[in-house]
Structure 1
Amino acid sequence: MPWKLPELDADLLALAKGYPYEAPTESYLYRDGRTFPISQADFVGRTPVIGHGSNRAPSQLRRKYGNLSGRQSEIPVTLAWLHGYDIVYSAHVTRYGAIASTLCPAPGCRVVVAINWLDSEQLAFMHRTEGFYSYGSLRGVDLRQFDGQGPALSEAFVYRGDHGCLLKDGAPVGLAASWGENRPHRKMSQAEALALVHARHGFVDDLDGHILATIRDEQARLKILEALGAEALHQDWPHFHLTSL
């Protein structure tokens, strides 16, 4: 089962509006809900999975893996430059109300992503938390980890949003919280993206009430997802190879 949502309205709204959540500006080792120097990490037997949204944040890892402790909880998280892609909003409202991220091909652009190094059990659980995404590998892509932080990479795995890219005036919208260079798309905060999506699909004055409705009413959320998907940009990723789960 996915991780449990909070019960209070204020906590739910903070979760929706806070995406993709605060994250360190350097690589780290996640353990027992805290961060430690990456020099303490053991990478043996782990799968590198690109985190382009909330999975780069310790708070999100704590929500997903908070039931684990000690070495079982350890997840090395290394930062890397991903070339040829931008981090944009997907046409997807998560079950906790946020507008999630996806990648979008963007020649000449590079963005900072996190590499979550997951063991087999952690990876299996991550799959269960990533709804409306397809899992596969990026091969032949220019992915450069920050100096001395993690093993060399010949490929990495990633979750690709199934609903495509959210559009504003016919173009994808970049996550303002993401770091990059030569990003070609206009950038929005999560609050701006939420207002954009909900203005298109029903709310007039009470944005918070509409966000809470999509969290608490699965059918309402799925109706928005269907509408967003119909007007989204769907692209092939040139380096993506689907992996059977």
Structure 2
Amino acid sequence: MDGLREGLTLEALGLAHAPRDHPLLYPGVWPTGSGLLDGDLLLPLDRLTHPGRTPVLAVGSNASPGQLRHKMAELGIVSPIPMVRTRVTGIGVGVSAHVSRVGYVSASPVNAPGTARELFVIWLDGEQLAAVDATEPNYDRVVLSEPAFRVELENGETLPEVFSYVNRHGVLHNGAGAPRSHPGQRPLITELLAGSPELRRLFGASPEEFCARARADPTRCERGTRLFAEEKMVTDSGLEHLRCG
């Protein structure tokens, strides 16, 4: 590999770690700009839209090149994935009301009228889309359409619609009924454990214990997911009415 390409490896860019292997790093490190994920490389993009592919808005680890590489490698998929940085209005990043079997509490989009933030759209071919669908068993893929949701590309163009994954268990609220925002894995788990003795009994007193116990026992994850609902920590994302992809 020549020197230029060596500088574009995920390792060199600090993007290599996958939250599936390092759950406390969730949602993983995102790129600073658009690029083409091609195996172990993040290459420059020649265009921002990709006809024939499906645009999927990533609010969590699907915007992490390390995570995407991990998901594709598990299924032997080697085709490149365009990752496009966008400015999205109308969507916030909430906390999924379930405990993942890989050890973290993931993100889910929530309805947030007027809120604007930088997020990534990943453009997936049919094989890649089926693979990502298979990795999201707790989510429904829905359509986010203009004018309620605005997705603006770096060149000012907007996408009339994109897909995104909405957690079917709902999202966690902030104590006042509104969806809470996802602050990153370590502070999130610290806050959740501090607020629930039963959650501490299930998963321990620290984020490290939480992740280790969740990864070791799918039944414990299911119990934790039920506990969120039993302790009335769950609310709607505001996106449940949208049609599925």
Same fold, judged at TM 0.5 (above): yes
CA distance in 2 between partners of 1:78 and 1:110 (Å): 16
Which stretches in structure 2 are left out of the alignment for 5+ residues? Answer: 1-17
Say whether residues 1:128 and 2:128 are aligned partners: no
Contact (CA 8 Å) 2:150, 2:158: kept in 1 or not?
no
Q: Which residue of 2 aligns with 1:144?
A: 152
Contact kept? 2:193, 2:205, Cα under 8 Å: no
Q: For the residues of structure 2 that align with 1:56 and 1:168, how far apart are their CA atoms?
A: 24
Q: Which has the higher strand share?
A: 1
TM superposition outliers: structure 1 runs of 4+ over 4 Å? 11-14
Quick check: 1:101 aligned with 2:107?
Answer: yes
Indicate conservation of the 8 Å contact 1:78/1:145, yes or no: yes
Question: CA, structure 1 residues 12+160, in 2 after alignment: closer, same or farther (shift >3 Å)?
Answer: closer
Mapped to 1, the partners of 2:228 and 2:192 lie a distance apart of 8
Deviations 1:187-230 (A, max 9, x none): x3310111233342025545423321111111111000112134
Q: How does 1:57-136 map to 2 (within 5 A)?
A: 57-66=64-73, 67-69=76-78, 73-136=79-142
Query: What do you get for the CA RMSD once the two structures are aligned?
Result: 2.4
Aligned residue-pair number: 216
Per-residue CA distance 1:88-120 (angstroms, 9 max, x = gap): 222122111111111122222112221110000
AA matched with 1:166: L
The equivalent of 1:236 in structure 2 is 238
Summarize deviations over 1:116-172 as a string: whole Å, max 9, x none.
100001111111001210112112221111227xx7521111110112121232343
Identity of aligned residues (%): 27
TM-score (norm 1): 0.79
1:210–1:92 Cα change, 3 Å: same
Which of these residues, 155, 164, 189, is aligned with residue 161 of structure 2?
155
Matched, 1:196 2:191: yes
Asked whether the 8 Å contact 1:138–1:239 carries over to 2, the reply is no
- Secondary structure of 1:62's counterpart equals helix
Residue 156 and residue 36 in structure 1: after superposition, are their counterparts in 2 closer, same or farther (change >3 A)? same
Q: Which runs of 5+ in 1 are unaligned?
A: 1-10, 176-187
The SS at the match of 2:103 is coil
TM-score, length of structure 2 as denominator length: 0.79
Q: 1:167-192 deviations in whole A, cap 9, x for unaligned? A: 232343223xxxxxxxxxxxx33101
2:12 maps to none
Report the Cα distance in structure 2 between the residues aligned to 1:55 and 1:235, rounded to whole angstroms.
19
Partner residue in 1 for 2:11: none
Is the 8 Å Cα contact of residues 48 and 153 (structure 2) preserved in structure 1? no
